[in-house]
Structure 1
Amino acid sequence: MKIAIMGAGAVGCYYGGMLARAGHEVVLIGRQGHVDAIRRHGLLLDTRSFREHVAVAADTDAAAVRGAEIILCCVKSTDTQQAARAMAPHLAADARVLSLQNGVDNAERLQAELPQRVAPAVVYVASEMAGPGHVRHHGRGELVVGPATLTDEQTRQFVAAGIPIVVSDNVAGALWAKLVLNCAWNALSAITQTPYGKLWQSAEVQAVMRDAVAECLAVAAAEGVTLPDDAWTAIVRIAETMPGQLSSTAQDLARQKCSEIDHLNGYVVRRGEAHGIATPVNRTLHALVKVLESGFAA
């Protein structure tokens, strides 16, 4: 398969690296520093089971998507519209575009700019960029997709590359379940710069998380979304399986970069307002992260 990764950050580099390692033609589209390092040495794919340099093409220009049959869009939610417009002139008419992004509405925002079919994929992976061209994998790596998102052969190729694919008839519910996870963990980890395991040791933090989750579930119900029954179990699992991990929002703030908080807790606040549902905990978490971001360059 020929695959383009639009947004070669921690998520994009992990999935792109795994697919390239399996022999697929992959191009990573990202920032100059990462591209330069990858061109010189390959992508350093540093996982829990192996550490190796993977030969993979890299570019800074969205035109590199040309000819790809699958495009994994992994840019920050704040860059979705810009990325779609940059890719649009270069996409094959039959290309499959998958949104591997936080938040619940990025596929819709991509679809508004692109004639190609766009589908959401729910991402469960813990990874970080440890340096230019160096992605470090901390755990998991599965994707949840709808029944017609990939062909049977493409699904087999992803699985063979070490990327588990879960096919679901309720991707909207899975997207919201991931949003609930992010709303519970991301801002708290970012504000305190504390990994999940240590946060979980605080009963007070757990109480705040329960309140944030309850607000999310109320908004989801008003949106007509059916979530799995194990929302809290999934939150507990994060603490148990990734105790040393900082949230992506925490990593952004540590690098003095603006985060996706407007598309996480901020999204719940906005949809709550639309339905007349109070979301004071999510509003507070959103506001505190925005204060911390206020001194950063956009």
Structure 2
Amino acid sequence: MRIGIVGAGAVGGFLAGHLARAGTEVALLARGPHLAALRDRGLTVESRGERWTVTVPASDRAADLGVVDAVVVTAKAPALPAIAAAIAPMLGPDTPVVCAMNGIPWWYHHGRPGTESRTVDRLDPDGAIWRGIGPARAIGCVIDCPAQVVEPGLVRHVAPRPGALTLGEPTGGRSDRVERLAAVMEAAGVRAPVVGDIRAATWSKLFVNISRSPLGVLTGLSERGMAADPDTLEITVAIMREAQAVARAHGIEVDIDEARTRDPQNRSEHRSSMLQDWDLGRPMEIDGIVRAVQDFAREAGVATPTLDVVSTLLVAKARQAGTYSG
């Protein structure tokens, strides 16, 4: 299987490094300093006590890479409308596309029981993603891969557990295409469980992102720092409960392990991907992680008072920095 990876950041570099080391053919769409480093020195990955360097074909033009068997997009959600058009040369008639990013996915309403198949307006206001990729190509993905770009061309995995990309069909059930892709990832040392309800898995991870990432940007605290402070801890728990109520309004029941959430020993000093984006002055995944959930809450008549306050402060801070215009 030939896999195209769009984005040479933390998750994209981690995945590309593992796949290439295992002998999978990888084609990497990258740009700027990352692309220059890949061409000059190769891609280096540090993970769980190991360090290795691989050479992978890379370009900033999808036409140079050609058609692949599957595309994994690991760039951040704000870039996705432009990416949807740019990756056209990589797509064959049956090439699936995995958007491995945090938050509510653009395809969320596709195959959702009792709902019209349509894009999420907050994430795809002009329908560019829906048209460019198309819901039939979409494979759902939930990321559990704490990683960071140390410097261009060098990615460090910062968790003791293996990185994981949970996969699932938006329409439910299991499919041959998902099983094949999961098998390739597992053979490369990346956990890739396949689930029948990818939306439930999305909400479970979203409870973590929505309750910690915005607060991390507002306070500058690490994951463990927020759990160790009683006041920020109560805010994270309140937001998790509000998000749980929104999921429940969609017919999705996901439990919250409050005891584990409240124990700082279960958190690391990792700075969330949203906080890393803030540190680097890049657009953050505010719409997918925060504001789409607020939209769902309003549609369902669910109150989210804590989330609303945190969202207001986060948006104001991002607008002042010039990194959010939504």
- TM-score clears 0.5: yes
State the one-letter code of the partner of 1:167.
Answer: V
Tell me the alpha carbon deviations over residues 198-227 of structure 1, each in whole angstroms, 9 at most, x when there is no partner. 211112112111110111011111122232
Q: Residue 220 of structure 2 is aligned with which of 193, 206, 222?
A: 193
Partners in 2 of 1:210 and 1:149 — Cα distance? 38
Shift of residue 163, structure 1, vs aligned partner = 0.8
User: Could you tell me which residue of structure 2 aligns to residue 13 of structure 1?
Assistant: 13
Q: Residue 266 of structure 1 is aligned with which of 291, 297, 321?
A: 291
Tell me the alpha carbon deviations over residues 159-180 of structure 1, each in whole angstroms, 9 at most, x when there is no partner. 1100112121111100111111
Shift of residue 157, structure 1, vs aligned partner = 2.3
Shift of residue 245, structure 1, vs aligned partner = 0.0
State the one-letter code of the partner of 1:141.
Answer: G
Where do 1:75-154 residues align within 5 Å? 75-108=75-108, 109=119, 110-115=129-134, 117-139=137-159, 140-146=162-168, 147-148=174-175, 150=177, 152-154=179-181
Shift of residue 4, structure 1, vs aligned partner = 0.7
Gaps of 5+ in 2: 109-118, 120-128, 169-173
Residue 231 of structure 2 corresponds to residue 209 of structure 1: no
Task: After the TM superposition, list the runs of 4 or more consecutive aligned residues in structure 1 that deviate by more than 6 angstroms.
Answer: none
Partners in 2 of 1:177 and 1:138 — Cα distance? 21
State the one-letter code of the partner of 1:174.
Answer: A
Partners in 1 of 2:154 and 2:322 — Cα distance? 24
2:179/2:194 contact within 8 Å kept: no
User: Could you tell me which residue of structure 2 aligns to residue 158 of structure 1?
Assistant: 185
State the one-letter code of the partner of 2:45.
Answer: L
Tell me the alpha carbon deviations over residues 106-138 of structure 1, each in whole angstroms, 9 at most, x when there is no partner. 345545432552111111110011111111111
Report SS of the residue matched to 2:307. helix
Report SS of the residue matched to 1:294. helix
What fraction of aligned residue pairs are identical, expressed as a percent?
28
Q: Residues 154 and 212 of structure 1: is their aligned pair in 2 closer, same or farther, counting only changes over 3 Å?
A: closer
Shift of residue 252, structure 1, vs aligned partner = 0.8
User: Could you tell me which residue of structure 2 aligns to residue 254 of structure 1?
Assistant: 279
Gaps of 5+ in 1: none
Q: Residues 57 and 242 of structure 1: is their aligned pair in 2 closer, same or farther, counting only changes over 3 Å?
A: farther
User: Could you tell me which residue of structure 2 aligns to residue 292 of structure 1?
Assistant: 317
2:167/2:178 contact within 8 Å kept: no
1:127/1:138 contact within 8 Å kept: yes
Report SS of the residue matched to 1:143. strand
2:216/2:271 contact within 8 Å kept: yes
User: Could you tell me which residue of structure 1 aligns to residue 124 of structure 2?
Assistant: none
Q: Residues 71 and 17 of structure 1: is their aligned pair in 2 closer, same or farther, counting only changes over 3 Å?
A: same
With the length of structure 2 as denominator, give the TM-score of the two structures: 0.84
Matched residues, number? 296
State the one-letter code of the partner of 2:154.
Answer: H
Report SS of the residue matched to 2:270. coil
Q: Residues 232 and 77 of structure 1: is their aligned pair in 2 closer, same or farther, counting only changes over 3 Å?
A: farther
Partners in 1 of 2:167 and 2:262 — Cα distance? 23
Root-mean-square deviation (CA, aligned residues, Å) is 2.1
Tell me the alpha carbon deviations over residues 20-40 of structure 1, each in whole angstroms, 9 at most, x when there is no partner. 111111122122110000110
State the one-letter code of the partner of 1:120.
Answer: G
User: Could you tell me which residue of structure 2 aligns to residue 61 of structure 1?
Assistant: 61
